[in-house]
Amino acid sequence: MGSSAVIVGGGIGGLAAALGLRRIGWEVTVVERAPVLGDAGAGISLGANGVRALDELGVGEALRAASRFQYTGGTRTPDGRWLARMDGAALERKLGTPIVGIPRSTLHGILRAALPPGALVTGAEVTEVDRIDHTDPSGARVRWGDEVRTADVVVAADGVGSRLRRALFPTHPGPAYSGSTVLRAVTERPVDLRTDFELTWGRGAEFGHIAFADGRAEWHAVLNAPLGLRPADPLAALRRRFGDWHAPIPELLAATRPEDVLHHDIHELATPLPSFVAGRVAVLGDAAHAMTPFLGQGACQALEDAVTLAAALAAEPSVASGLARYDAERRPRSQAVARAARQAGRMGPQLDRPLAIALRNTAFRLAPSGTAVRAVLRHATWTPPRLK
């Protein structure tokens, strides 16, 4: 069985994969082309499946200590009326762990701190990966700069625009624009929030917030928009677009510095990959199944990938069988979640026809009590394999 891995990409999925492989006794090097890790201008909400994965990776206690648990909130209309309430306590009772909100940079820091010195290489770009066939007993060869390493497994965790994925699956069409763009930021100062987490759906738009433990909050605005459209003053444009929406939306925007606003078009792998494995290479996270954010499951699925990959490699007698098991266990579930996220967007904030919006809102208000809880349970109910 193998014992060394090179992970291409130091995002949440790549760092989590490194922790998982180290827990089964492997030597791991993470190579990240960015000189500085972490998206300081954003936050993240992790469902129970993501929290359970981090527990298995050994950092669950640190995660909880730095998070704000999400017990209150739900989905509203721009005038403030509720479409659905979130019962975080009921979810915690059923799943055994709460939903948490945390700055993305803090989560990155927790994952990095759990790695030994030297395991993470930043400011380096992998330029060559070859000899990935299992018939070569020496392992794959990975090059970055003047460094050349051999590895039993290479993990492609280099994001939605993955260069490794393109090389491994040259006929795959790659990521597609979802039709939505997202602007987001973390407030400069604490904001008086009555709920832990909210989404508000308007016509072709969503505004949401995640409250943090220190009183600040992350907010995001998702808008139907042409690809590449960029306003000259993003924050001013958002204040015009959402200025008459219910509190605390105007207050969140007022507590934000213009230079902190991030703007990204949302791409997804609308065409599923035929495999998450090619030779000795495992594709993981957004590189494998980039999805729209409308279920809040993107990072959670990457964390599931990381734990499952490590467990499969630990359980199987060979690298080849371990990677085959990873593909068999992860590809059906993650691709199903990606399809569900796409459908959630189309039926939720991406709707822009007034009649369709009215019908959707009526259906939400008439839904039986507990429907929102069952919707979350559908994707968050996941038990991680044990890492020995």
pLDDT at residue 292 in the model: 98
Which residues, 6+ apart, have CB-to-CB distance to 66 below 8 Å? 102, 106, 107, 110, 213
What is the layout of strands, in order, in the sheet containing 205-211? 82-85, 73-76, 197-202, 205-211, 217-224, 176-186, 262-268
Q: What is the pLDDT of residue 40?
A: 58
* pLDDT of amino acid 374: 83
Q: Can you give the residue ranges of every domain in the chain?
A: 4-70+100-174+269-347
373 pLDDT exceeds 90? no
Q: Give, in words, the CATH class of 4-70+100-174+269-347.
A: alpha beta
Q: Which residues contact 191 (CB under 8 A, 6 or more apart)?
A: 215, 216, 217, 248, 251, 252, 255
> Which distant-in-sequence residues (6+ apart) come within 8 Å of 332 by Cβ?
none
Q: What's the average model confidence in pLDDT over 40-49?
A: 88
Cis, peptide link before residue 258, omega less than 30° from 0 = no
Helices (H), the chain: 12-23, 48-56, 60-66, 88-95, 104-113, 163-168, 234-242, 249-254, 286-289, 298-315, 319-347, 354-366, 371-380
The amino acid sitting at 36 is: V
pLDDT in tens, 291-344: 999 999 999 999 999 999 999 999 999 999 999 999 999 999 999 999 999 999
74-87 in b/e form (b: 16+ CB < 10 A) is: bbbbbeeeebbebb
Find the mean pLDDT for residues 251-264.
97
Q: What is the pLDDT of residue 53?
A: 98
pLDDT of 277 over the 60 cut: yes
Q: Nearest Cα to 325, choosing from 333, 335, 337, 313?
A: 313
Asked whether the predicted pLDDT for residue 369 surpasses 80, the reply is no
| 39, pLDDT greater than 60 | no
Residue % of the chain over a pLDDT of 70: 98
Using CA atoms in the order 326, 327, 329, 334, what is the torsion angle rounded to 10 degrees? 120
pLDDT at 41 over 70: no
User: 194, 206, 200, 197: which is closest to 79 by C-alpha?
Assistant: 200
